[in-house]
Structure formats: C-alpha cells, structure tokens
C-alpha cells in the first residue's frame, strides 16, 4: 500500500505546476495574454471605456473563429457571446478550447522560450 501512495504522489507532482507559474498566469493582463493567443489582434480605436480607463476592446481571430473581447487588467469579456472571466488560463481555455493543463502548457511555452520557472520566465515577471 505505501508503494501505491508513493506512486500516486509522484504522478501528481509530475503533472502539477508551480504556484508562481499559476499566479503569474492568473495575474497576467488579459491584453498581454491576447498577444500570445491570437493569430490576428487589433485594438478598437473607437472604443471609449465607461467604468475603467484601463479597459480596451480588441478584435481578434484564433483557430476557433473571430472574437470581440473587452479587457481590464486580468479580466476579459466576450461582447458577442456575453461571456467573461479572469486570468490568462481562463482566456486560453475559452479562446482555444483547451483543458486547464493544456492552457497552462501553451501559455508558458509561448510566454517564455526559457519556461515559466526559469529566472527569466513568467514566474519572475514583476507585474
């Protein structure tokens, strides 16, 4: 029995991400995440924020289609589908139809050629 528990713990450790990586991705501004996720990205110069001056509206394309996304910090909202969320992981899952694990892997690979836990990766990003 202890052998089985040790193997289960080892499997979980292999498939987990560091807390600093997850925190970095959750706090990443959505506009920065869009740069990593979209095949086409264009800010909407006609958009005027109502509640928060940091808000911006973006027109973008991914392999799943075209989107109109409003971003404010890490939060995002798809104006066409009337669906929103927070954090780069959630946005990647939505725009690219990825699982949580695949979204984290995709973002860490795109965000840093060194990897998220490298001193120059996402975990070290001061934002």
- Average pLDDT per block of 10 residues along the chain, 127 residues long: 60 71 93 95 95 95 96 97 96 96 93 55 45
Q: What is the pLDDT of residue 14?
A: 56
18-124: CATH architecture: Alpha-Beta Complex (3.90)
CB under 8 A, 24+ apart: contacts of 34-38: 34/58, 34/60, 34/69, 34/71, 34/91, 36/88, 36/92, 36/107, 36/110, 36/111, 37/62, 37/91, 37/92, 37/95, 37/96, 37/110, 38/62, 38/95
Q: What is the pLDDT of residue 125?
A: 46
């Amino acid at each position: 029995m202890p052998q089985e528990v040790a193997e289960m713990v080892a499997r979980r450790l292999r498939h987990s991400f560091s807390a600093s990586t997850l925190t970095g991705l959750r706090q990443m501004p959505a506009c920065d995440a869009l740069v990593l996720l979209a095949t086409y990205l264009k800010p909407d110069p006609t958009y005027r924020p109502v509640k928060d001056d940091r808000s911006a509206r973006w027109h973008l394309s991914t392999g799943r289609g075209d989107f109109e996304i409003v971003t404010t910090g890490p939060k995002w909202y798809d104006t066409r589908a009337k669906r929103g969320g927070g954090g780069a992981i959630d946005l990647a899952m939505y725009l690219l139809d990825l699982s949580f694990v695949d979204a984290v892997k995709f973002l860490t690979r795109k965000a840093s050629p060194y990897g998220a836990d490298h001193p120059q990766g996402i975990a070290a990003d001061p934002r």
